[in-house]
A and B are shown apart, each in its own frame.
Chain A
Amino acid sequence: NAGVTQTPKFQVLKTGQSMTLQCAQDMNHEYMSWYRQDPGMGLRLIHYSVGAGITDQGEVPNGYNVSRSTTEDFPLRLLSAAPSQTSVYFCASRPSTTYTEAFFGQGTRLTVV
């Protein structure tokens, strides 16, 4: 049981490049979410999904796209990276029967230069 797995752990992008942050969970959780963590701030919700085929915007969705084709995977796409997207990104999951995000990935540290 691996829990929530994020890849890569570190990434440096040039402004304008695109990339996909991967998130996978093996717990059959319906609910998955992406947060970003900036220095001196708490985590802020980017996008979330309540199940395969269903996604919705969080607090800071601009510049990011998501899709949920399977229960296990919830990738986050940056179409045209900007320096303001330099941050640490966390993926989380939980069963739909609970309200507690108890399972977080280890994070992806992204730097956009």
Chain B
Amino acid sequence: GEDVEQSLFLSVREGDSSVINCTYTDSSSTYLYWYKQEPGAGLQLLTYIFSNMDMKQDQRLTVLLNKKDKHLSLRIADTQTGDSAIYFCAERKDTGRRALTFGSGTRLQVQP
């Protein structure tokens, strides 16, 4: 099955908080990332968290990591229409190629 799983779609109203969830299966993952992709564009690194951390906050973004459940979430406070995009969760294993493994992406739609 997929190494990294995400729900496909999330719709929120402008001003509300958005929570995008991700599960991963490899406990050896050392870094976990969130990327944003706007239509027709490449991926933009939003934030990342080391596996020895539980939480990281960066302005409107909060990342929560539950290592026991292998669950990662991205919370966007005061969601704006400009936040509409596809959000990818990715993990980096500490063995082998050390390449990124991406989830299939969550499309966030922000309703005005």
Interface residues of A (CB under 8 A from B): 4, 33, 40-45, 48, 56, 58-59, 90, 92, 99-102, 104-107
**B45 in contact with A100 (CB, 8 Å):** yes
Bound-state CA distance A33–B98 (Å) is 12
**A42 in contact with B41 (CB, 8 Å):** no
Pairs across A and B, CB under 8 Å, 25 listed: A33-B99, A41-B104, A42-B101, A42-B103, A43-B43, A43-B88, A44-B102, A45-B99, A45-B100, A48-B97, A48-B99, A90-B42, A90-B43, A92-B43, A99-B31, A99-B98, A100-B31, A100-B33, A100-B45, A100-B48, A101-B43, A101-B45, A105-B42, A106-B40, A106-B41
Does more than half of chain A's interface fall in helix, strand or loop, or is it mixed? loop
Contacts of B48 on A, CB cut-off 8 Å?
Answer: 100
Interface size on B, residues (CB 8 A): 24
Interface residues of B (CB under 8 A from A): 4, 8, 30-31, 33, 40-45, 48, 88, 90, 92, 97-105
